[in-house]
Amino acid sequence: MIRGVVDRRSYGDSCGVARALDAVGERWALLVVRELLFGPKRYADLSRGLPGMSQNVLSQRLRELEQEGIVRRRKLGPPASIRVYELTERGQALEPILCALARWGSRTVVDPTEELSVDALMLALKVTFDPTLAGDLRVGVELRFADDQFHAEIEAGRFQLARGSADHPDVVLDTDAAALRSVVFGGQPVTDVTGDRQAAARFVACFPRPTPFEG
């Protein structure tokens, strides 16, 4: 923690783990970071992605993350002219840590009816991708949600995913987080597909459901 900047309790331990938890160990902090991994968001979009988090707590966590140099605010230029939150270089450095936590956490049993944000689902795709299942698949996919969109690409056993539209996708999936989750991890058939349906089916089969821990 940056001493004298944030007025909250510290572990008072010089271990790197303790210092990391001083910065991002507060409840909801890492989930705010998760919602910003794929790009900037407005406050309202952050709130929508974290429906169980109160407005007061969200505002407080954003202030703390700003003071720690993990998140910053900026104004988008015309035509948007809106204020957004985004990760700094220090914040982006948390990505492999969040991916590791996501892999570990995905192996615990979860209620499939629990809500999952779009960004949380995108992180799940990122950490469960299996290149051996992809094989020789080469496909560009646009994932369209009501208020957001992502473009994904699989080529040479590598998976890339980013917020925004695709230039010339082979497949377009019009969906929502719950529907896509049921297809990818629940075995439901692919629907609402534009483009190569066979490639779409191969695409969603590249993300196996994690195996729960034993015992």
Q: Mind listing the pLDDT tens digit for each residue in 117-168?
A: 999 999 999 999 999 999 999 999 999 998 899 999 999 999 999 999 999 9
Predicted model pTM? 0.89
The pair of structure tokens assigned to 81 is: 């002219």
- Average pLDDT for residues 172-188, to the nearest whole number? 93
d(CA 81, CA 24): 30
Q: What is the pLDDT of residue 26?
A: 95
134: Cβ–Cβ under 8 A, 6 or more apart, which residues? 154, 157, 159, 202, 206
Q: What is the pLDDT of residue 23?
A: 95
Length of the chain: 215
The pair of structure tokens assigned to 140 is: 């560009």
**pLDDT greater than 60 at residue 5:** no
Q: What is the pLDDT of residue 170?
A: 97
d(CA 204, CA 181): 10
**pLDDT greater than 60 at residue 7:** no
Q: What is the DSSP letter of 190?
A: P
